[in-house]
Every structure is written in structure tokens, then in C-alpha cells.
Structure 1
């Protein structure tokens, strides 16, 4: 069994990397940016390279499924570099290939407001995937960069699924029919995602998990009901864990540079701040407990392995480019 977390937005350092190893994580998609332009995003990749180099005994950057498996076999955690927006492209289609060549393997089409690719889940009107957006989807397919729809609007998401030549992902969200929230996804969208071979990373983030965030057992119930909806083979984990994220970080995520007004993201005026850690999942050292919770809910051993990481690995084998295992000449 390989443990995979479909997305985290933590402020990573050696301590957080040690937590990954403590939980036996084989792979984690990390967030390199939200609103940053091309130059700022390049700076972020430089920082990530320096950070990984300084902690190479614990982690390594992976660009293919084979590299994930090789890094995991070495007793380290594979990191997939990702962005939660497409602002790093600065409207230039050629930058998809450039950033792919630099190791970026996951990108969300939009974040919390409409951009030149399409609409976000918070926009009151969703005009769908733009002409540029269709070009971006095709180029991400060509370059082996996974498409993430977690914060993307309904129509834009549907059209991305339709136009993508390979499966796409929702790395961190839940079914809206179980937890009504703008950030969660309709049954129709999730069924379309699954029909094309995609994966949903079920999240325990309080704001979008509601009562299912109470305990590991209630989270396992959320997973079970999601599996009933779209099939267990399309369900993974996307914790959206934000270790060491402070109020300034949260403000940047929610407001960027596009507004002077207070934004609450997945929160609300009544629930505005950073959410406290889940007692049953304070950090990734608790990842093995999720497998126990799934087994306790009645998932068979093969199903537990699939949800804990096997489904993500199947997705990565199909979507990420083929290549030599890490460490080979």
C-alpha cells in the first residue's frame, strides 16, 4: 500500500517533511503558489529546489509515476509540484511547456476568481472554458501536467472534462450533495469526472466537510458515501492540510492582489479565520489512522489500499508523462 495525499498547502520545512515520513507518505502534491505571476512562480520553484536539496534524505521531487515509486522505495516522500491557479502562465500558452520542463505536474485552472482560462466556483456567472482555456487544457495534456478542478466553476469544470484527452482531477473537495458548499462538486460533475477516469480527493477540511470532519469515523463515512456515488476506484484523499499556515498566508490565499475587501474563501463572516487542526488529523503522522478508519467502516483491504493511494497512482500513471525512474541514468 502506498499513501498519497492529493494536495496540501502547508508551509513546508524540515519538521513538516519529518511528519510526512512519520506518516509513511509515499507522495504529496504541494502548493507552490496561488496568485503569483510568472516571475514570482519561478522564484517559488527556486525556493522549492533549495528546500528539497537541503532535505534530500526525506523528500524528492517526482515528475512521473515511476519516479514516485522509486522515491517511495528509497524510504523518502515524493513531491509533485503544483499550483492552485494558472496565473503562473501570464496568458502565454508556451509557458505550460516551460513550467512542465521545470517539474510542475499539477495545476488548477482557476482559483477563487475568474481568470483568462475560465470561472471559479465563487463566481456568480460561469461562462465556461475560454478559448485560451481550451488551449491550456490541450497543452497541459500534451506536456503531462494534471488538470485540477478543485476551485473551478461548474460549467468550466464540465467543459474541461469534456475537452481533456486524459482524466482530470478534483484534488481536494467533497460532494455538494453531502455537504452543500460552493467549493464542493455537484453529483453530475463528479459522475462526469469518474466516467472519464478521474479521481476526487476527499477532504477533511472543516469548512467543506461539515459534520463529517468530527471524527475519523465520520470522515470514513464521507468517503463511503462518495464511493457509493462515483465508485470507490475514483476516490482518493486530498487533505488540503495547511501546516504552519498563519493569518497572513490565509489572507493572501483569499484576497491576493485583486481586492481591497475582506474575503472569506471557504469560510464566512460568521466563521472567518483559520480553522483549528482536526484532533484526529493534526498532521500527516496520522495518515495511517485513515486506513484504520476506512477498514472500520467496512472497506475491504483492496479498497482501503485504493483510497489511501492506489487510485491516485493509477491516475498518475495515465496522466503524467512516462520517464525513467528517479536515480537512473
Structure 2
């Protein structure tokens, strides 16, 4: 880098040092677990750019809306052999310090309800999901940097006040079972985005791991219409292809694919075929590219890294246009690869393990929600993307969809 160029770091969020549940008494109110290092678990990685390019990156972080459409901001236990016990106690720690340095203005928090195991080992139980939402928002209510976002104005207010808007999202609707009004209850708790399925079939439709996809059910169509009326953005990331297409057709409003990639680059059901991506965009929706380990790999880049991730981004942008792409890295704080190994029987990741894929210990440069977006920005600036296009994919495309799907 050119040492003659002064680089001013973007202004960090207003963070007062709060740690999750510090208002409670350790050993009395909750059990302590040694958590993964939220900032230095793996060696830091900065995508290489010039000083002049870094100035552009820092300016964008300072001035434009930076939105992640899909994350898990909890901190996993360091010892993953404790994970099931950790999840059964029903209390997740949020990485507030790391988030303060992430550059994010809005984060869609997807919790961990596929592994909500207070009452069951299967996840997605109604009482466990409600417990999970309540505990996280109770913790958030004791600090000031992260704010609960329920309206569009909250997203803009967070940026103006140097805070982070926290959008509650659920990856599946399985917990509503056949009770339509539970969608209203979840909306009341603050949920603003919901997936139709999490890989396996439920009352609404079929997930991507099912051997056959019967499409959206009659109840599923009723649920889609109710979500439209309530102002819940619908997501298709884990839905089967026919269920996804049925949902796009049934919905009166745009829908999203908030963490996936292009199946044309890597033939696994976890990624989306061109015709689903095109249909989502034609409806006015947005496709956000994910970075969870061993997901967005390509034949050109079989070892998952920022280059394979951005290859999925460019392919999708070329397919449907820059107005319909964004980023939903789907990362967390802790050993993500280790968690996938531990939970492989519960998650839709086995099908993505192609023979020529090179396994990695972590995705360099995209390790967690704090590291992703500065590096994504550096990549975009390095490749010569215009400021206008960067603004779109960093946040404006997502904001457009939310303005069409949320209550104003």
C-alpha cells in the first residue's frame, strides 16, 4: 500500500462494552460455557487492495447502507461436544463487540431454531422458537447498540444513530404447524422474514432435501397470503424447486432467496437453478449469496473462498441484473465447519459434498459476520464496480424489497 495516502477508518458503532446477560448472576441465573473467540478465532484476513481503494471502502462503510440478509450472530461454545447441552439451556450469547466492528448497519438474524432443543431434539417446536425469540430480545433490551427493527424507519434510524438494526428472521415456517394465526403471533414478536421450509417438508410445502417435491400445499398458499397481509417477507432458500416456484406464483409481493447461490456453478440442491433465480427476480425479489462453509464453491474454485463466493455473485448478477442481487453470508461466531460436521444429520449439507470439492477448515475472509462485508466491499472495489452498483448490492436492493413487503 502507498503510505502517503491517509486512510480514515469508518466510524465504529456506538458500543459500551456490554456482554450478553451481564445483568444476570453467573452460576445463579445461568450456567457458564466457554465461548469461541468472537474476534480472533482464526487469523484475520484482509482482501488485498491499494490505499486508494481502501479509502473508497471506508467511505462506503461510512456513508452507505450495509445490510446482511442472513446471519447467525450468536457465539458457539468453544468445545463443540457441549453444543447439544448448550442449545438445551435455551440461551444464546450475541457477539456485540464483534458486530460493533463489522461495518453492518442492518443484520437479518436467523437465530438457531433448527437446533432449538429445549423440548425436543428435532428443532422447530413452537414453544422453543418463542423461547428463543424472547431470550434474545430480552438480552438485546439491556444494551443500546443493537436495536430491534420492525419498520423501514428503524433501518434508517440505526444508520443515523451509529447503531445496528436487528431484523428477526426464521428459516422455516415449520413451527406454525397448521395454525395460521401463529404467523400473526410471530409478527407480534418482531419476526419480519420467514422461510417456507427448512429442507424437510412441512405443512406448507417441500424442502430441498426431499426426494420428491409436491409444491406448495393448500395451507401453504393460505400462509403465503397471510404473510403478504402481515408484512412478513417470504424466503425460498431451503424450499424445493417446485415449492419455490409455487410460492413465487402465489405471492402478491416480491420474495427472496436470502442465502444461496447458483446451481449452474455447483450441482447441488442447496443452490438454486437458473429458472428459480430468474422467477424470483422477475417477481421483483432479490437473491443474496451465501458463504457458509462448502456451499458456494465452483468448479473453477473447488476450495471455498471469497473468489468462489463472488463467482456465484457475478453469475447471478449477469443472469438477472445487478438490481436483484445482494449478500446473505449465513455465518456465525465459532467453528462453523465443526458445527456442520456435528449437525450433518439435521442440516441440508450432505448433498453439497461433491467428490472434487476441497474441504476447508474455514472460509478465509468470510469467517464470521464481522469479517464478511469489509472484504466483500474490497473485492467489489478492486474489480472496478461503480459506486452506484455497490450501493445496490450492499443494501439498496434489499431495502427496495422490504419497502414492498413490510408495513411502512
Q: TM-score range by the shorter chain?
A: 0.7 to 0.9
Indicate if the aligned counterparts of 2:332 and 2:369 stay in contact, CA closer than 8 A.
no
Indicate if the aligned counterparts of 1:24 and 1:288 stay in contact, CA closer than 8 A.
yes
Deviation at 1:87, TM superposition (A): 1.9
Instruction: Find out whether 1:3 has 2:104 as its counterpart.
Output: no
Deviation at 1:60, TM superposition (A): 1.0
Deviation at 1:168, TM superposition (A): 0.3
- Of stretches 277-286 and 39-48 in structure 1, the one that deviates more from structure 2 is 277-286
The answer to which structure has the higher helix fraction is 1
Instruction: Find out whether 1:189 has 2:276 as its counterpart.
Output: yes
- Of stretches 204-213 and 16-25 in structure 1, the one that deviates more from structure 2 is 204-213
TM-score of the aligned structures, taking structure 1 as reference length: 0.88
Distance 1:110 1:251, change over 3 A: farther
Deviation at 1:9, TM superposition (A): 2.6
Q: Counterpart of 1:210 in 2: which secondary structure?
A: coil
Distance 1:264 1:312, change over 3 A: closer
Deviation at 1:196, TM superposition (A): 0.7
- The root-mean-square deviation of aligned C-alpha atoms, in Å, is 2.5
Question: Quick one: distance in 1 between partners of 2:237 and 2:340?
Answer: 17
Instruction: Find out whether 1:43 has 2:131 as its counterpart.
Output: yes
- Of stretches 244-253 and 280-289 in structure 1, the one that deviates more from structure 2 is 244-253
- Structure 1 counterpart of 2:95: 16
- Structure 1 counterpart of 2:165: 78
Ranges in structure 2 where 5+ consecutive residues have no aligned partner:
1-63, 76-91, 115-122
TM-score of the aligned structures, taking structure 2 as reference length: 0.71
Pick aligned residue for 1:58 from 145, 154, 163: 145
The 5 A counterparts of 1:160-309 are 160-211=247-298, 212=301, 214-244=304-334, 250=340, 254-255=344-345, 264-265=349-350, 267-268=352-353, 276-286=361-371, 287-309=373-395
Q: How many matched pairs?
A: 315
Indicate if the aligned counterparts of 1:64 and 1:316 stay in contact, CA closer than 8 A.
no
- Of stretches 305-314 and 184-193 in structure 1, the one that deviates more from structure 2 is 305-314
Question: Quick one: distance in 2 between partners of 1:149 and 1:248?
Answer: 26
Distance 1:275 1:149, change over 3 A: farther
Distance 1:251 1:89, change over 3 A: farther
- Structure 2 counterpart of 1:145: 232
Question: Quick one: distance in 1 between partners of 2:293 and 2:137?
Answer: 31
Deviation at 1:217, TM superposition (A): 4.2
Distance 1:292 1:254, change over 3 A: same
Ranges in structure 1 where 5+ consecutive residues have no aligned partner:
257-261, 323-329
Higher relative CO (Cα under 8 Å, sequence separation at least 6) belongs to 1
Larger Rg computed on CA atoms: 2
